[in-house]
Amino acid sequence: MNLQNLNQSKQDLIAKLQAVSSEADLEIFRLEYLSRQGSIAQLFETLKTLDGEQKRLVGPQLNELKKEIQQLFDDKKEKLFQQKIHAQEEKQKYFDVTISKPVAKGSLHPYTQITEQIQNIFISMGFAVADGPELETEFFNFTALNVAKDHPARQDSDTFWIDTQHLLRTQTSTVQIRTMQTQKPPIAIIAPGRTMRNEATDASHDFMFMQFEGMYIAEKVSISNLLATLKSFLTQLFEKEITIRVRPGYFPFVEPGLEIDASCPFCTGGCSVCKRTGWIELMGAGLIHPEVLKHGGIDPTKYSGFAFGFGLTRLTMLKYQIPDIRLLHSSNIQFLQQF
Ligand code: DAH
């Protein structure tokens, strides 16, 4: 740039400024032309060396140039600043909540999957899901269920006693009494949950396992109601026609007490699951003992009911062909990812 063709210089600077599109480039422009060491300041230095006549001629032109470029520079600076703010606002306004870093995907534990399946089957038959505490009293776990004081299950070898009155429930049958005490017949509930027994751990035993309780109380409930309900349930669960077999069994809280076996859902005559018998032992059941109804505050002369209970852990192992209970309880991601 020189003082001879200020007009041309001005046009060049205007064009350069127009081309600037970032704050960084604008700063480069400022340093080059508008700063104290910049070209325009240098022109003023040169102006000083001119004689009076020329100074009067060129001075106002140079002042004009400086003023105009400074004004255009300020405008540009403001414009770029506003653009930046606007861009930030837009980004916040439209930020995409679905954009995220990839995270490891989990899956539902087999217990959760099968519990949901079973619940859905029973809910479709009109049952409600009930719950009870895992830390129980001796009354709900034993006395109310008609388990005699000298029954071996009361010994320390099976039960985790907390103190003389409290224990970790050994069966979900506790929920039967708790429900009877808070609801009036007709009652139809199921109660899946954790149970604890003081057992040595091996491939088929653990100190914690899942059970699944069912109970129906109304007028004139019979064994046929029980068998029809169970057959319908098992057929839906295994998605094939299941035949049930009934044997007498003893449980203090039912009379008569039954052991229910199902035709093996995995074969048609013999496999390793049913140990080549064609039958699998599935659950305990029966008609609720009048003493138990009384403990639940229900009149046994007016109402009767059935109850059943099965090992949800065992059923899960059967359904998913899991050979070792410890796999189910191990939180091993590789194992769990299969389901
Ligand atoms: N509570 C029993 C157990 O842990 C299972 C059971 C048997 C539950 C018979 C019942 C029943 O409701 O009627 O072995």
User: Which tens digits make up the pLDDT trace of 81-92?
Assistant: 999 999 988 888
For the CA atoms of 250, 307, 135, 204, the dihedral, rounded to the nearest 10 degrees, stands at 60
**In this model, does residue 241 exceed pLDDT 70?**
yes
Kindly give the number of the ligand 1 atom that is closest to the alpha carbon of 288: 13
Is residue 102, in this structure, part of any structural domain at all? no
Is residue 98 included in any domain, yes or no? no
Q: Give the confidence band of 339 by pLDDT, cuts at 50, 70, 90.
A: confident
Tell whether the model's pLDDT for residue 112 goes beyond 90: yes
Q: Which of 313, 310, 323 is CA-nearest to residue 244?
A: 310
- Say which residue, 102 or 277, is predicted with more confidence: 277
Same domain? For 128 and 188 the reply is yes
Number of structural domains, the chain? 2
Helices (H), the chain: 6-19, 23-29, 39-49, 52-93, 110-124, 138-141, 174-182, 223-238, 290-295, 312-320, 325-328, 333-336
**What Rg, from alpha-carbon coordinates, does the chain have?**
42
pLDDT over 70 percentage in the chain: 99
Is residue 320 included in any domain, yes or no? yes
Average pLDDT of span 246-253: 96
pLDDT at 321 > cutoff 90: no
- pLDDT at residue 156, as a whole number: 67
Give yes or no: residues 145 and 32 share one domain. no
- Who wins on pLDDT, 328 or 95? 328
* Averaged pLDDT, 131-143: 96
Please tell me the distance from the alpha carbon of residue 104 to that of residue 331, in angstroms, as a whole number: 15
Confidence class of residue 134 from pLDDT cuts 50, 70 and 90?
Answer: very high
**Together in a domain, 61 and 143:** no
Do 49 and 86 belong together in one domain?
yes
Cα–Cα distance measured from residue 300 to residue 305, given in angstroms and rounded to the nearest whole number? 9
CA–CA distances in Å: residue 153 to residues 140, 142, 150, 169, 249: 14, 9, 8, 11, 16
The domain in which residue 232 lies consists of: 110-336
Does residue 324 fall inside a structural domain? yes
**83/124 same-domain check:** no
Q: Please tell me the predicted confidence (pLDDT) of residue 66.
A: 95
Closest-lying ligand 1 atom to the alpha carbon of residue 172? 1
Check pocket membership of 286 for ligand 1, CB cut-off 6 A: yes
**Domain-located, residue 100:** no
Q: Is pLDDT larger for residue 102 or for residue 81?
A: 81
- Specify if 215 maps to a domain: yes
Asked whether the predicted pLDDT for residue 100 surpasses 90, the reply is: no
- Would the pLDDT of 269 be above 80? no
Long-range contacts for 74-81 (Cβ within 8 Å, ≥24 apart)?
76/17, 76/20, 76/26, 77/23, 77/26, 80/21, 80/22, 80/23, 80/26, 81/23
* Within-domain flag for 99: no
Nearest residue (by CA) to ligand 1, atom 7, is 284
Calculate how far, in angstroms, residue 309's C-alpha sits from the geometric centre of ligand 1: 4
Do 80 and 139 belong to one domain?
no
Report the CATH number that the domain containing residue 191 is assigned in CATH: 3.30.930.10
309 domain-assigned: yes
User: From the alpha carbon of 213, which atom of ligand 1 is closest?
Assistant: 12
Query: What integer best gives the mean pLDDT of the chain?
Result: 93
Instruction: Return all residues near 162 (Cβ < 8 A) that are at least 6 apart.
Output: 135, 168
pLDDT for residue 118 = 97
Nearest CA to ligand 1 atom 8: 309
Please give the DSSP secondary-structure letter assigned to residue 143: G
Same domain? For 267 and 190 the reply is yes
Q: Check pocket membership of 309 for ligand 1, CB cut-off 6 A.
A: yes
Q: Is 173 in the pocket of ligand 1 (CB under 6 A)?
A: yes
pLDDT tens sequence across 178-234? 999 999 999 999 999 999 999 889 988 899 999 999 999 999 999 999 999 999 999
197, 239: one domain:
yes
pLDDT at residue 235, rounded to an integer: 94
From 93, 121, 141, the end of a domain falls on 93
| pLDDT value of position 187 | 98
